[in-house]
Chain A
Amino acid sequence: MKILLAPLDPVHDAGLKLIKRKLEVLGYQCVLLPPDITVEEIGEAAIAEKVDMIFVGRTVGYGVEQLFQRVKEVLTRQGVFSKVRVAIGGMAVNDELAKALGFEGGYGPHTSIEEIHALIERDPELARHITHPVKNKPEFPFPHDYEVKIPETKKYLDEIVDGILDWVADKTSPGVRRAQITESQLQDVHGSVAGYTALPFTKDYLAQCDPSVADFFQKNICPPSVRQITRQEVDAYHRRIDIAKKKFHPRVLQHGRKNPLVFIQYGTGCPMMDGMHIKVAESWGADGVLHFDPAWGARTEGLLDGFLTNAEDGTPVTYANLSLIKRSLDKATLWSVRAHRGLNTPEIAVLAGFLGAGLTKINIVYGSICGGTDPARLTVDGVEAVRIAARYKMPFDIPTNEELAGVPPHKAFAGMLIMAQLGRRLGAKPILKPLLCHGPYIMVAGLMEQNYVDYNYAKIRALQTIADFPIWPGEPIGFMTHDEEKVKSAATTALHAALCASLGVDAVTTASTDEAFSRGPITSAGRAAALHGIEETFRFFGETDIAPGAHVKDWTDQLILQINQTLKAVAEAPSFVDALYAGMLGNKEDGVYPGRAGKNSIITSAPPKKVGRWDLPSVPAPKKPVVTGKASRPIAVVTRRGR
């Protein structure tokens, strides 16, 4: 096939030159006319060259409609338009406009060569992978050997983990018991998950809960900011989501690289608003999403149930809410439900595992010195949650947002590495989640006065030097560098993402452009804007890396030294829990203190017994609960346990 390429511009013909090069690679014979020609000359060239198709390009957008109408008139008068197929293109042209004007098709600045090929051959299948891309869920995290490479670090970590497992061996808690009850109930309904929106009420369960949770189930009293979502709302929401799924064409943000995968956090308070934000984020390229629950949920013994919306930040974790969100997800989207910081840690891990969340989040250290939960209680619950994560094959990430309170990175990282080694010992896949932030410690020490690159670089390099664990900076990247101004906010997120790409991390959690805005809920448009910024920045850098500055090596070495000093101190403490109370992983001077929620709630079940590293007690099978209410299946939308 012979194609005539005609630029209708005084000087610009770069677009058509590009098309010519690519079409010739595909085997087409092309004739490119010079710029500054008349419409009549295009027709004359088409007749002289006996071409099969003409591409007329016009870079300047002003007045294109009138111009192309004239092109059609002249070519028709010359007898060309009826014999030769004509397509048009340019900055202000798209296929819709071209067809409306009577042309074969149109191409704009974002049209791929595959789409032009499809236009020439009249075969949409040639561009289907571009116009209708398929995104598959990646195996995440990517392969790692999970080995601690520095012998001294490994020695301390193993000693600490031995001590943790010894310490928890004879202890349980109301949170662990509720997790066992819930897991037993869930096993009971396995196979009928689709129609199941609430769990049966049990006297055993409520015996382990706060009175406010009992009031919810028995007296229908919701927490102050919570309301029940009606069946009509849920049905209407499902219809909306189904429409969105039909029109969904995922974008891929990474430009040539495999990683980092890009996650967003959701937790607007409402699972339906979350679902809509998730659809926006997926559409603009997010690879995964993380569920954030309300702060009060972490301080309350027991979970609510049913479809619930919260007027403040954080979406209540209930079986029904998680089911609703799961139904909203694209098949390729990775999903994490955080469990890590409160009194319901093991139970949330059970729900997450059972509902197929691929990931969860557990950090005993952060949750107990910064999240408000008693260190002893969260150690018992956290170990159980890690066991649950291992049982459900859910990798868990270990956030270190205690840096936001002022804890120095080396202490936060020491705690994170303890959790990671604990996770490996219990057969789980831990993921390190360093916070890339302009946090209080860094500000006071002046470590980012020159730039945001070098200290973050050193933090990641230190972790990569110590061990080969997956690394997923968050939460979100660039914390405390964001601005209320949208472009600045998108830019700092995107540049932190580019730095992470350079450092070869597995994934990043990114903020919306509303990250620094605190006078109202974040918006879906802010999510799309931040993802646009990341896409463009990944495009800009491609596979080119950011080079480290002069301070990076010293800072990396210093961090490794400080991490080892911290781990040594923790290993020498009477126990890990004592170390938490004593502030070895963050203290009041740093800005954190041991939490109080769940204090004195530990139940010692038997005399302490020593457990060797390779001789762990088997996890007891969940016991069947005593069901005192009627387990209603199928469950109504606003079902209570036993109501």
Chain B
Amino acid sequence: MLNARDTIVDALDIESFLLCESEKEAKELIAKLMQSMGFARHVIVSLDFNGPGAHFRARAYMNKPGDNYTWLKK
């Protein structure tokens, strides 16, 4: 039986708005957030800081092209 993560074709995006005082702080918080969720390898796809904080989309790749894809496991 596949676990849920194994069924993701390529990547899991997390989008939200976090309260912070700078873009630098936003990046640090996003890194902590992703690591706390078990996504050691992640990238920030978009980040827009203004006013109360940052609108962001972070991405954790589950399967990159050329990998041995989890969704091909039995």
Q: Which residues of A contact B (CB under 8 A)?
A: 225, 227, 233, 236-237, 240, 268-270, 272-273, 276-277, 280, 309-311, 483-486, 514, 517, 519-521, 523-525
Nearest B residue to A237, CB-CB:
B72
Which residue in chain A gives the minimum CB-CB distance to B10?
Answer: A523
Residues of B within 8 A of A (CB): 9-11, 13, 15, 43, 45-46, 48, 55, 57, 59, 61, 63-66, 68-69, 71-74
Nearest residue, chain B, Cβ from A276: B9
Q: How far is the CB of A349 from chain B (nearest CB, A)?
A: 25
Q: Kindly list chain A residues whose C-beta atoms are within 8 Å of the C-beta of B59.
A: 520, 523
- Do the beta carbons of A309 and B72 come within 8 Å of each other? no
The CA-CA distance from A428 to B68 in the complex, in Å, is 41
Query: Residue on B with the closest CB to A274?
Result: B65
User: Chain B contacts of A309 at CB under 8 A?
Assistant: 65-66
Determine the chain B residues whose CB is within 8 A of the CB of A270 once the complex forms: 65-66
Contact between A236 and B10, CB atoms less than 8 A apart:
no
A523 to B59, CA, bound (A): 10
Counting from the closest, the 3 A-B pairs by CB-CB distance are A236-B72, A484-B46, A268-B65
Q: How far is the CA of A270 from the CA of B69 in the complex (A)?
A: 11
Q: List 20 A-B contacts (CB under 8 A).
A: A225-B66, A240-B71, A269-B65, A273-B63, A273-B66, A311-B64, A484-B45, A484-B57, A485-B46, A485-B55, A486-B45, A486-B46, A486-B57, A514-B45, A517-B45, A517-B46, A520-B11, A520-B64, A523-B11, A524-B9
The residues of B that contact A523 with a CB separation of less than 8 Å are: 9-11, 13, 59
Q: Which residues of B have CB within 8 Å of A519?
A: 43, 45
Closest to A229 in B: B66
A521 to B67, CA, bound (A): 12
Query: How far, in whole Å, are A227 and B67 apart by their CA atoms in the complex?
Result: 10
Extra A-B contacts (11), CB below 8 Å, given A310-B65, A486-B57, A521-B10 = A269-B66, A276-B9, A277-B9, A309-B66, A310-B66, A483-B46, A484-B46, A484-B57, A485-B46, A521-B65, A525-B13
* Residue in B10, B55, B66, B72 whose CB lies within 8 Å of A524: B10
Contacts of B10 in A (CB 8 A): 273, 521, 523-525
Cα A280 to Cα B9 with chains together (Å): 10
Minimum CB–CB distance from A229 to chain B (whole Å) comes to: 9
Q: Which residue of B lies closest to A225 (CB)?
A: B66
Residues of B within 8 A of A280 (CB): 9
Q: How far is the CB of A636 from chain B (nearest CB, A)?
A: 19
A276 to B8, CA, bound (A): 11
CB distance from A608 to the nearest CB of B (A): 47
* CB nearest to B73 among chain A residues: A236
Q: Which residue of B lies closest to A233 (CB)?
A: B72
Complex Cα spacing A270 to B59, Å? 20
* Assembled-state Cα–Cα distance A520/B13 (Å): 13
Instruction: Give Cα distance in the complex from A268 to B9, angstroms.
Output: 13
- Inter-chain CA distance A270–B9, complex, in Å, is 13
CA distance A523 to B15 in the complex (A): 15
A520–B39 alpha-carbon span in the complex (Å): 15
Which residues in A have their C-beta under 8 angstroms from that of B55? 485
Chain A residue nearest to B71 in the complex (CB): A240
The answer to whether A227 touches B72 (Cβ under 8 A) is no
Complex CA distance for A276 and B64, rounded to whole angstroms: 12
Chain A residues with Cβ below 8 Å from B13 are 523, 525
| Nearest opposing residue in chain A for B72, CB measure | A236
Q: Which residue of A lies closest to B74 (CB)?
A: A236
Residues of A within 8 A of B11 (CB): 520-521, 523, 525
Bound Cα distance from A396 to B66, whole angstroms: 30
Q: In the assembly, what is the distance between CA of A539 and CA of B74, in Å?
A: 41
CB distance from A307 to the nearest CB of B (A): 12
Q: Which of the listed residues A233, A237, A484 has the most CB atoms from chain B within 10 Å of its own CB?
A: A484
A-side contacts of B48, CB under 8 Å: 485
Contacts of B9 in A (CB 8 A): 273, 276-277, 280, 523-524
Q: Residues of B contacting A277 with CB < 8 Å?
A: 9
Given contact pairs A483-B46, A485-B57, A514-B45, A272 touches B72 in the complex (Cβ within 8 A): yes
Give Cα A236 to B61, complex, Å: 21
Measured CB to CB, the closest approach of chain A to B72, in angstroms, equals 4
Identity of the chain B residue whose Cβ is nearest the Cβ of A313 in the assembled complex: B65
Query: In the assembly, what is the distance between CA of A521 and CA of B41, in Å?
Result: 14
